[in-house]
Every structure is written in structure tokens, then in C-alpha cells.
Structure 1
Amino acid sequence: MALRPSSLPLRVRLFEMAPRDGLQNEPGAMVPTATKIELIHRLANAGIRHIEAASFVSPTWVPQMSDATEVMQGITRTPGVVYSALTPNLKGLENALAAGVDEVAVFGAASEAFSQKNINCSIAESLERFEPVLKRAQEANVRVRGYVSCVLGCPYEGDIPPEKVAQVAKALYDMGCYEISLGDTIGVGTPLAAKRMIEAVSRQVPIDRLAAHFHDTYGMAIANLYAVMEEGISVIDAATGGLGGCPYAKGASGNVATEDVLYLLEGLGIETGIDLQAVLDTGHWITQALGRKPTSNVALARVLS
């Protein structure tokens, strides 16, 4: 067992994004519902205990998620695993509740321009829209997670001030989100910028209520994750196979690969309870099903070795 540096957490909770964020922008034909269900089963069997399984959004905007109800109702649930879904509005929430989700999520942005491009409203308007969603979820005794996009840069505005990120994160937290996931949507962040962002946000939201959601466009995601773990972050979003991307951010690559995050954490002696080899196998399986290779460096290195 590797010796864990004292500045890092004892344990990290990994939040798996591949079934939702990883597949929602998959081009071409619809990914079969059975494939999505099998992916979720494989991830749970690998020891992952938090899986975002679907998105209850308009099929006009996100056709790959049009079978969200069938996916949520088709999975065999593993005890101890939380199966969540993205629900941007009240209609989506009601559909998710009917499908038996364990937890839901709403998403905003730290960039006004990105908010307009992504959800056709201002940041303030987006937060107002979430209020009835939070209220209804609380009535149903379902926890809500909040996402903040573009925390380290925006394709339209460039750099985003950390204080702006902190304002949006605090608004979501005060509204009732139990956890705020901070997303480097276009993957432009560097370790120092990531640290400064976390420092600003943690002055407004407790550090144990924050998560890191970093994309790997410039190959900086792993370095950025190490940097924010030094600041106290102990929840990491990742996608098996490095799947994902953002339709509103030209050139943005997928989420940081779960395989690469696990390799980092194992090397640091940080516990996750997840079987790296099982995740590697799952990554190869799902990317093969999609007709591509995994972008995970660990997956590619293990194939070559």
C-alpha cells in the first residue's frame, strides 16, 4: 500500500458519469437501452457506489437520453448504490420520480454567455427555475445535487473569476443542494487556477460539500484533481472510458477517465472501494460497443503492456 501524503483525503467517493454525461452527446445512432443498462450493471459490480444513470430532459435536445425511464426501470439495483438522474425542470423531476430515481441533479453555469447558449436563460433565471424543482424534490425526500459549469473557463467569455463561481455555488447550496459539483466544462484549467477556484468557493460552501468535475481537453485533469484534493476535495466525478464532451463547447473532450483517476488514487494510497481492473474491462467493453477506443491513458497502457 502506498503511503498517502498527509495533505490528501483518506478516502475519495467517485461519482460515475459515463451512463449520462458520457453517452448524452454520443453521435450517430441511438445507444441501445440494453447497452446502457448493462453499462450501469457493470459499473455497480466494479464497486462504484454513485452512478448518474440518466437524464430526464427533452428528447428534442438530447435524443440519446430519450429512454431515461426505460433505463431507470430496467436496471437491477445493487444494494448500497445510488442511482441518480439529471432533471433540469419540474417536468423532468416528476418523470424521474415516477421512474424511481434515488437522487436528482440540476445544473447551472458560472458564465452568463454559456448559460444563454446552454439553457437559453441568464444565471439568475436558471436559479429561479430550480426553486420549484428543489421544493418538489424535498417533498419527495429525494436529495438534489447541483452542477456549476465553466468554473475554470468558458468558450465564449474566456477566464471566469473564482468569485463568480463561488456566488453560483453558494446560491445552489443555499437553495438546498446537498453537494455542488464544480465543472471545468471545456478542460482548460491548470492546477493553480483550480486551487484558487476551490479556495474561493470553499469560503462560501463547506469543502465537504464540493466535488470536482474536470474534463481532460488539455491533459490537465489528473494534475488538477491532485491540486484540489490538496485543498480538501474528496468527491470526484469521472467517466469510464473517458466518455463525454459538451455540445456547446467546441473542441471539449470527454470527462476525466475513471480508470486514470483510480490509478492516481491507488498510487496515493487513497481508498475508493472500487476494482480498477473491473472498470478497465468495462471501459474496453463500452468503447468497443460504441465503435471507438477508450481515451483513458491507463486503459491504453495496459493494452500495450
Structure 2
Amino acid sequence: MNIPAIELVLANTNATVVRQKLPRTTYGSKDAIIQILRDAIDMEESVRNIYAFSLEGKPNAGRDCYLAFLIEYQNDHFDLFDDSEMNMGNEAREYEIISIMQHISLLSNPNHLLYSTKRLPYQLRDMPPFQAACMIKSQSFKPLLPNWHAFTAIFNKDQQLHPKDIYQADDWEQLYDNAKSAIRNISTCTVKHLVENAMNYENLYMGMIRGHEFRALILVKDTECKVCFVPVENAYEVYKEIRGKLDEFVFGDFLPESVLKSSGQRLLSFNKIELMPAVNGNLSWVFREFEGHDN
């Protein structure tokens, strides 16, 4: 293997690279990568690029290749995930890869999610992290989401392109469109701001937070939103002040407790959890005081 000179690949030769150890299950690998990226977002570490690549399995490995990642942050730090068990071996494994791509595309700029057009050798795992990062960065990359079909080919024997209909094509196709229209600019606000500025927005999302006596009231316009976490005893009165001014929706599931503090979790939950029209039964689930004949 030809390992490129560091100064030819990395703009900052003082960059740091951490090889992250992952669980030995496919779903464990997926969840760990998402958690590390979400934690980085919470610490305001902005992502520059995410490089996805197919890494050869070692001789006698269970699979020919596995999915791996290198995440590059704006502060010249890198997280290397070359120990993943994720693969495209069957439909369940494909859904896990679709899921991690969905999470990554919400936590970062979807246009900066890239994939290597060639499979990388298994010996990369034995390189020091810094050299491995240089090796990865020196590859030829393309945007992943709009080219998802070509991306799947790097997992196939001889990297041949198979027909789209053997994959979960509808789910793949939705990833890029959903990522481009996702809520990105999320900030918290006071009840006063929520009430006084409601007319400047298009939609009102409402939901319950698991394990907490708060309700989330969220003003949304395009990719921007303002969220107000209102104590349950005041939430219905606040809602009544803005009721009927916007198109209203209710989250179909509890928001996780972490949305109270985690900006990364807000990016995920506000874009992923299914929304339902704010009709009688749905509103009564969010607001204890709501009575159906009031609607």
C-alpha cells in the first residue's frame, strides 16, 4: 500500500485522529457512531465532512467487506470508525445502514456526506490512526445520498452495480429529500416570544417529553424553528393563546428526555418522529385539560 505524505493530505499536520472502538454487533456499531456524533454536535463541534467507505474483511472474516467512517470536524479533529460490523449482507443489515445515513444526514450537512468509490484494504485497520486517516482522505469521493445506488456497488462482489429493485430503493430515495428539507436552525425561546411571534411561522408542533412534566411547543417555518418547553400546568393556557393561528401537528410519540438539553437530539427528534394532525384525540393526549367538544 502507498501511504501518502501527511502534508499532501491534511491541511493541518497537527490534526488529531481517534480510532473509536465499537461494539461487536451491527446495531451496536450503528448506535455508538450516532451517539458519538450527537455528542460532538452538543459540544458545538461542527462537522466538515463525513467519509463513508467499504473496508475489506480480513481473511476468514464473516463478510467480504464492512461499512466504515471517518468523521472530520472543523477543528481538525477526526473520529475513525474502521471496526464496524455493519454490512449489506441482507435486508435487515441494509435497513441499519439506511438508518445511520438518515441520522448522519440530519446531524450534518447532507452534501458533505461522501463515499469512497473504491473499497479500501483490510490492512487499514492495522495502521496507526493518523496514517489511516491520510490513506482514507487520499481516496476519490462522491456525494453519497444522491448517488446511493452507486454507493451500494462497493459492497458487491467485483463491485458490480445490481438492479435498484433488490434494495430498499424508496427508503434510500427519501433520505436526500428529507435531509434537504429538514429543520436545521433550532433554538429555544420564552413563552412571551412564542406567543408574540407565532404569526411569523407556518406550523406549530406539539409533543410530550418522556419522564418530564413539560410540553414542547415548537414554531416552524421552512428549516427554522423555535422551541419552548412549557411546564404541563401552564401548557394548555399557552396553547390557547396561539391556537388556530398556524397549521397544527402533534408528535406521534414521546420526545426523549434528552431534547431538553441536547441540540443534537433536537435535530434528530424534531425531524424523525412522525407528526399527526392536531385533532381532538391527539390534542387530548398532549393536553390533559383539552376536551373534544372544544375543537
TM-score (norm 1): 0.28
Which structure's CA Rg is the greater one? 2
TM-score (norm 2): 0.29
Compare relative contact order (CA 8 Å, sep 6+) and give the higher one, 1 or 2: 1
